[in-house]
C-alpha cells in the first residue's frame, strides 16, 4: 500500500508533468513506443474518476495506415472548411499551422464514451447526463500526463468529422468518440504551447480566471489574502 | 527551465496521484486550506490543455454558507428525484450512500465553461464544438490530481440542477457550469473508490476496455505482445 502523503519530489513530479505537458503536432519521431509504456499510460487513463464508477470509456489502439489515411482525409476536409470561416491575414496564419501528426506519430488512439455501460441508472448522471462524457475527458488528461512523464508526446486532433471517424473505426451508433490522439516519441517538448509561441494567443494570468463567491466578483473580504497571492502568481510554463 | 526527462521518483509521484486520487464525500475535516495550496492547485488547473489555447475556464471559489445551503437544497431535491428511478433493494442502497460534502468541506469550487472566450473562431473547435467543454474537464482533472498530492480531498457533485447553480452563482446565460467540487482536508483517502467498497460496481479490468484497430476487436496480429501485457495487467488501486 502506498503512503498517504506525498514528499516534495513526488509533488514535483506531478507538477512537472502538468506544466511541461504539450499538445504535440510537429515533433514526432518514427521510433515505436514500448508496449510496457502503452500499458502504463492506458492504466493511468483507466484510473480516472468516473460518474457513479461507470468507467464509460474504451480505448482503440490504431496503427493501420489505411485507417489513418481516412482520418487524415477527414482532417484535411474539415481544416479547409475551418479556414473558410476567417479572412486574411488570420486565414494564411491558420493555414500555416501544423495541427496534427496523424500519419507520422507511432500510434493513434481513439477514446470513446459508451453511455449504456452499467446503465441506464448511473449514480450522479441523472440530473446532468453529460457527466458521463466529463469522465472520459478526465481519462484523456490522466493519459496525457502519464505519457508526458514517460517521454511520449500526445496531440489531440479535434479537426475531424466524428461521422467519418465512426465509420473508419466501426463504432456502433450509440458510441461517441471523445478524443482522437496521436502518440509518439518526440524530438523535443516545446517550452510553451505552439499557439503561444506562434503569437496566436497569450496565456491568461491566473487572476483573469478566478472569481470569489459569485461570477465576476474579483474583490471579496473573505478571500483577501489569496487575492494577493493569485495576482502575484507566476506563470510556470 | 525544467529538465525534459522524468526520473523514477518523479514518475512515481505522478502515478501515485493518479492511483490514489479519490472522490471524497465522507472524510472531510473542518480544517481550512492554506491559500498557497489553493493557488497551486488552481494554477495546475489553469495549465490544462485547451482547444486552440482558448483557456475557456473560470474558477469560482465559494465559502459563503448561504450559497452552499442553496446548492445543498438542489442536491437534496435532485437526489430524491434520482432515487425514484430505481426500486428496492437498489433504492435503499442508493439512499444510504453519502454522495456529497457541500456544507462540511472547507471550500466549494465551481468550474465553468465560457464558449465566447477568444471566440467565435477557436482553432480546433469548428468541427467538434464540444471540444471546448472537454478542455474544462481536463482542467478539473489537473486540479484533482494536484489536490491529491497536496493532501486535499475533492468530491465532484453532479446531482444538482445546473439552473439552480447558475442562479446561486449569478452565472450569465452563456456560461455553462461543468463541475461543482467540494475541497478540504480529509481524515483519510480511501484505499478504493467508495462505490467499489460498497459493492455497487467493480473496477473493470484494463483488458475489458481496450480494442485494437476497430471497435470490439480484441485480437489483432499487429498488437500481439501488448495483448498479453494488458491481460496480465494488475489493478493498482
DSSP per residue over A85-126, as a string?
TS-TTHHHHHHHS----TTTSSEEEEEEE-TTTT-S--TT-S
Q: Find the closest chain A residue to B132 by CA distance.
A: A158
pLDDT in tens, A45-62: 999 999 999 999 999 999
Per-residue confidence band for A233, with pLDDT thresholds at 50, 70 and 90:
confident
Predicted local distance difference test score (pLDDT) of residue B4: 80
pTM (2 d.p.): 0.97
- Cβ of B159 under 8 Å from any chain A Cβ? yes
Across the interface, which of A13, A48, A179 has its CB nearest the CB of B11? A13
Cα A174 from Cα A145, distance rounded (Å): 28
Give the residue carrying C-alpha cell 470513446: A112
- Cβ of B170 under 8 Å from any chain A Cβ? yes
- Cβ of B133 under 8 Å from any chain A Cβ? yes
A63·B189 Cβ contact <8 A: no
Q: What sections of chain B are H helices per DSSP?
A: 8-20, 35-46, 65-83, 90-96, 131-149, 162-168, 194-197, 206-209, 224-232
Per-residue confidence band for B232, with pLDDT thresholds at 50, 70 and 90:
confident
Per-residue confidence band for A4, with pLDDT thresholds at 50, 70 and 90:
confident
List B residues 37-96 in contact with A (Cβ-Cβ < 8 A). Answer: 38-40, 42-44, 46-49, 51-55, 57-64, 67, 78, 81-82, 85-86, 90, 94
pLDDT at B226 over 90: yes
Nearest Cα to B182, choosing from B33, B47, B34?
B33
Mean pLDDT of B95-112: 98
Assess contact for A71 and A165: CB atoms under 8 A. yes
- Cβ of B23 under 8 Å from any chain A Cβ? yes
Assess contact for A183 and A33: CB atoms under 8 A. yes
Give the residue carrying C-alpha cell 453519502: B98
Cα B179 from Cα A138, distance rounded (Å): 12
Assess contact for B47 and B53: CB atoms under 8 A. no
pLDDT at A1 over 50: no
A63·B223 Cβ contact <8 A: yes
Residue A9: count other Cβ atoms within 10 Å of its Cβ: 12
Mean pLDDT of B124-153: 98
Predicted local distance difference test score (pLDDT) of residue A236: 54
Cα B67 from Cα A165, distance rounded (Å): 43
Instruction: Give the three-state DSSP class for A211.
Output: strand
Taking the CA of residue B160 and the nearest CA in chain A, the distance in Å comes to 6
**Rg of chain A over all Cα atoms, to the nearest angstrom:** 20
Per the prediction, chain B carries an average pLDDT of: 95
Residue A192: count other Cβ atoms within 10 Å of its Cβ: 13
Find chain A residues with C-beta within 8 A of B170's C-beta.
214-216
Taking the CA of residue B111 and the nearest CA in chain A, the distance in Å comes to 10
pLDDT at B205 over 50: yes
Strands, E assignment, B82-199? 107-113, 152-156, 176-185
Nearest Cα to A195, choosing from B196, B81, B52, B2?
B52
Cα B179 from chain centroid? 7
Across the interface, which of A1, A78, A201 has its CB nearest the CB of B127? A78
Mean pLDDT of B195-218: 96
Taking the CA of residue B34 and the nearest CA in chain A, the distance in Å comes to 9
Nearest Cα to B128, choosing from A170, A166, A55, A21?
A166
DSSP per residue over B11-38, as a string?
HHHHHHHHHH--B-SS-B-SPPPPHHHH
Predicted local distance difference test score (pLDDT) of residue A25: 96
Contacts of residue B120, defined as CB under 8 A and 6 or more positions apart, other chains included, come to none
A172·B144 Cβ contact <8 A: no
Predicted local distance difference test score (pLDDT) of residue B1: 43
* Interface ipTM above 0.95: yes
pLDDT at A2 over 90: no
Q: Find the closest chain B residue to A186 by CA distance.
A: B4
Over pLDDT 90: what percentage of chain B? 95
Predicted local distance difference test score (pLDDT) of residue A232: 86
Amino acid at each position: 500500500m502506498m503512503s498517504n502523503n506525498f514528499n516534495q519530489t513526488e509533488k514535483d513530479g506531478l507538477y512537472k508533468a502538468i506544466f511541461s505537458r504539450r499538445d504535440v503536432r510537429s515533433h514526432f519521431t518514427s521510433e515505436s513506443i514500448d508496449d510496457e509504456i502503452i500499458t502504463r499510460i492506458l492504466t493511468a487513463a483507466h484510473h480516472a474518476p468516473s460518474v457513479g464508477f461507470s468507467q464509460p470509456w474504451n480505448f482503440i489502439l490504431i496503427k493501420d495506415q489505411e485507417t489513418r489515411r481516412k482520418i487524415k482525409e477527414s482532417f484535411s476536409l474539415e481544416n479547409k472548411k475551418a479556414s473558410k470561416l476567417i479572412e486574411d491575414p488570420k486565414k494564411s496564419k491558420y493555414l500555416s499551422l501544423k495541427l496534427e501528426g496523424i500519419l507520422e506519430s507511432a500510434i493513434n488512439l481513439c477514446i470513446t464514451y459508451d453511455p449504456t455501460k452499467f446503465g441506464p441508472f448511473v449514480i450522479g448522471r441523472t440530473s446532468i447526463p453529460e457527466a458521463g462524457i466529463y469522465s472520459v475527458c478526465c481519462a484523456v488528461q490522466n493519459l496525457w500526463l502519464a505519457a508526458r512523464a514517460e517521454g511520449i508526446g500526445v496531440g489531440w486532433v479535434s479537426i475531424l468529422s466524428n461521422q467519418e471517424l465512426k465509420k473508419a473505426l466501426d463504432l456502433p451508433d450509440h458510441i461517441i468518440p471523445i478524443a482522437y490522439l496521436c502518440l509518439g516519441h518526440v524530438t523535443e517538448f516545446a517550452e510553451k504551447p505552439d499557439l503561444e509561441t506562434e503569437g496566436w494567443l497569450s496565456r491568461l494570468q491566473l487572476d483573469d480566471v478566478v472569481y470569489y463567491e459569485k461570477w465576476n466578483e474579483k474583490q471579496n473580504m473573505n478571500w483577501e489574502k489569496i487575492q494577493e497571492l493569485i495576482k502575484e502568481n507566476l506563470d510556470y510554463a
